[in-house]
Structure 1
Amino acid sequence: MLDQLDSFLSLFVGFLGFLVVVFIITSYKWSAFFNLYLIIVFLVVSFRLVHIGLLGFYDLGSFNTYSFYMGPIILFAIPSVYLYFESLYSDRVHFNPKRTLHLIFPLSNLLLNSLQYNFSILNSCLIETIQIISIQVFIIGYCLASIYLSYNNLWAKRNDSSALSSVHEALMKKWAVFLLLVLVTLSIKLVYSIYTEMNENARIVGYKSSLVKSLLWFFVFVYILRSPELLYGYPKLKNRFQELEKKSQAVSPVWVDNIPEIKSAQDSKLNESIDTKIGSYLAEIERYINSNHPFRNSKYTIKDLSKDLNIPASHLSYVFKYHCEMSFVEFRNQNRIKDAVKYINTDFLENQTFDALADAVGFTSYNAFFVSFKKYTGLAPKDYIQSRDSHRFSEKGE
């Protein structure tokens, strides 16, 4: 039963890994070259997990023999993780051919494994022992190099004028610690697997499976899907957070000075009579909205605003049609979200629910509130709170 669960989980996580690869490729416009390293890691890992899972359910025949001698392909993932960390911190956008030198050792082992299939002279005990020991040193070496690289870039590096935002810093440290723990755990397991396979005269490098391996990769893949900002690279992520912070403020719409061509005769006539009043209208609208929060009333309409401001409804309709980048309904919803952000930042949700928050700012349902919140801030309500809390936590740490 446990073996079947292991095989099923390996299959599931392997296909999830392929899904993450597709996600990374479609996110390429944000991620530059360093995602190539993640693609190598995830493709290798996903292939191995799927193959391990299939072995538990099917006899793959000759394919097993082929993969038997393709065991060292996992070694391509080892330097790729290191290169991922290196590129993540520098956010390199140009491919450096020198980085391919990191792949010489995996390539040589892949070649040696293939030659050993055809030339028995290469299957001597001495050669295999040297190969296994060198692979273990290779894995441990890159694991330590990744830890050292992360330490220098996240913990030992002093703050300067180009330092990242506290939210960004906290997110990157959390991700780096998580990935390093996974890397160390899997490296130890891989070294141990290689050692046991050597004693069993096996010719596949670390191909033994376990629930722990599948679960660890499952958490890595889910982490990426839940926090795609991690794909963007260190400097790019800073810019991304600045964009989200601007959106999360849910500012009032930009009022338009240069209106488009007026084709309606009625609107043209209205334009002539109220053109000089537009400035005062806009100021009155802003003042009243910010002072009285009328949109907390879920039934509040443009006619109600007209009555409260003592401005003809036809004049307000004209203003929102030609001097506002959005309709009155969109303007109302955006200001409700602006109001909601203020509630959240005053810890309204410590004693209240999201439904209560939606009702407090004027939405008739949580679904309508959720859609509008994500539309105008770029974040779901819970994600906004998580981002805000991370920012507060990092500020306290400073």
Structure 2
Amino acid sequence: MITSLLFVSNILLGSLLIFIMLFSGRTNIRVNVYLILIIVQQISHRAFIFYISFNSLDLTLLDNYPAIFSVSLVPCMFLYSRTLLTKKINFKKDLTHFILPVTYTFFSTLFFETSHQQNSFFAFTVIGVYLFLTFREIIKSNKDSHSKDEIIKRWVYVLLIAFTVIYASAFVLKAYYGLDTREWLIDFYVIASLVWFFLFFYIFLNPIILYGKIILLRNIVVEESNSEFWKFKTIRQVDQKHLYIQTAMIDTFSDLIYKLIKLQSNDQLIKENSFTIDFLSSQLAVPKSHLIYLFNYHCLYRGNDYINLIKVLKSKRLIKAGYLEHKTIESLAQECNFNSRITFFKNFKKETGVSPSEFNVNLTV
């Protein structure tokens, strides 16, 4: 009963993920093609196992599965991981990874009667090769100084460890029960289902896997107030002298934009510090040149204009909260870290078109 529930829960969670990826316009479906194929294979297999166990059918029906499994899933895991790490997709070249498994399955099914042991040996060989290839891609990614997407790397690590656990358990169980028996299969499928149960919840807890970082951050930015002046695409052509910074920030600029959006809404931080580009550089632990690059190519305001804008936005929030009902404009200017009333007045009118007093009056009209 518990085993059947585990299989059914795998089927339902996997189906839900596929539905989200196929029918949500925000999902990064091109990158997730192989993830979709992996989950489709997994839930279809769980459905088949559930059918066999529920109807107490002969386990020999699973004899050809190891080869089919290596065809449909293991190469997909490697190609999916490589796509995430390299950010490159070439579906035509990827087809070469399916030639050997498909050929073996085709001939073993139609022309030769291969044994359960032969199918298992072939499957374990293919699995071992692709686990090694995936591990090699991770090592190459770690050596790449420009690849700094830790969330995606962590997901690839989790995926590799999960697959390794599944197939290590198969190897151990097969050795324990003996090569000529199929008693190990149900125990193996239970372990595999538990691992997949964990993977499904990991995906739900990390929506970046489904949506991709840029798409996810765009939606977050839309929901954030005062962030419409940030753009994820460059707003002008990058100068030749700044191309090296663009390359260095290719995996980090979206994270940095989101951190700036969070930081610019921190009223206490704006009040207690000299809110300058140098301060932001120190607070975010990034080179000043990286911030200047963002202001030049991903923000509608340049450095000092951005700093003054953030202070004005804070003053608008305070006015809307009733600050001027009990305090003066001079006090408001100090609260927002402006050097003087005149500087505050000038920047406020530049941004809103009216003075702070007029802005306050308009709120009550």
Distance 1:150 1:320, change over 3 A: farther
2:163 aligns with 183
* 1:47 and 2:56 are equivalent in the alignment: no
> Within 2, Cα distance between the matches of 1:200 and 1:107?
26
Match of 1:79 among 69, 75, 79: 75
> Within 2, Cα distance between the matches of 1:248 and 1:316?
26
1:249 aligns with 263
SS at match of 2:30: coil
2:120 aligns with 132
2:352 aligns with none
Q: Is the 8 A contact 1:88 1:233 kept in 2?
A: no
SS at match of 2:55: coil
Q: Is the 8 A contact 2:131 2:164 kept in 1?
A: yes
1:148 aligns with 136
Distance 1:113 1:87, change over 3 A: same
> Within 2, Cα distance between the matches of 1:285 and 1:317?
22
Distance 1:41 1:285, change over 3 A: closer
Distance 1:318 1:312, change over 3 A: same
Q: How does 1:257-336 map to 2 (within 5 A)?
A: 286=311, 301-302=321-322, 305-309=324-328, 315-318=359-362
Q: Is the 8 A contact 2:21 2:29 kept in 1?
A: no
Q: How does 1:217-236 map to 2 (within 5 A)?
A: 217-231=196-210, 232=212
Distance 1:226 1:68, change over 3 A: same
Distance 1:87 1:28, change over 3 A: farther
Tell me by how many angstroms 1:30 deviates: 5.5
> Within 2, Cα distance between the matches of 1:236 and 1:45?
34
> Within 2, Cα distance between the matches of 1:11 and 1:243?
42
Match of 2:113 among 101, 120, 123: 123
Matched length: 262
The residue type paired with residue 188 of structure 1 is: A
What do the CA deviations read for 1:144-176 (whole angstroms, capped 9, x no partner)? 11112112212xx052xx353xxx32x234323
Tell me by how many angstroms 1:208 deviates: 5.7
Percent of matched pairs sharing the same residue: 17
* 1:211 and 2:195 are equivalent in the alignment: no
> Within 2, Cα distance between the matches of 1:223 and 1:67?
29
The residue type paired with residue 84 of structure 1 is: Y
Distance 1:29 1:284, change over 3 A: closer
> Within 2, Cα distance between the matches of 1:107 and 1:61?
27
Distance 1:318 1:222, change over 3 A: same
Tell me by how many angstroms 1:80 deviates: 0.6
Q: How does 1:342-357 map to 2 (within 5 A)?
A: none
Q: Is the 8 A contact 1:52 1:209 kept in 2?
A: no
Tell me by how many angstroms 1:68 deviates: 6.3
- Of structures 1 and 2, the one with the larger relative CO (CA 8 A, separation 6+) is 1
> Within 1, Cα distance between the matches of 2:60 and 2:94?
31
Q: Is the 8 A contact 1:7 1:55 kept in 2?
A: no
Q: Is the 8 A contact 2:10 2:196 kept in 1?
A: yes
> Within 1, Cα distance between the matches of 2:260 and 2:51?
48
Distance 1:188 1:233, change over 3 A: farther
CA RMSD of aligned residues (A): 4.2
The residue type paired with residue 305 of structure 1 is: L
Distance 1:186 1:83, change over 3 A: same
What do the CA deviations read for 1:64-106 (whole angstroms, capped 9, x no partner)? 99776555332211011110111111112x4331211111233
Q: Is the 8 A contact 1:6 1:210 kept in 2?
A: no
Match of 1:8 among 5, 8, 15: 5
1:200 aligns with 181
* 1:101 and 2:145 are equivalent in the alignment: no
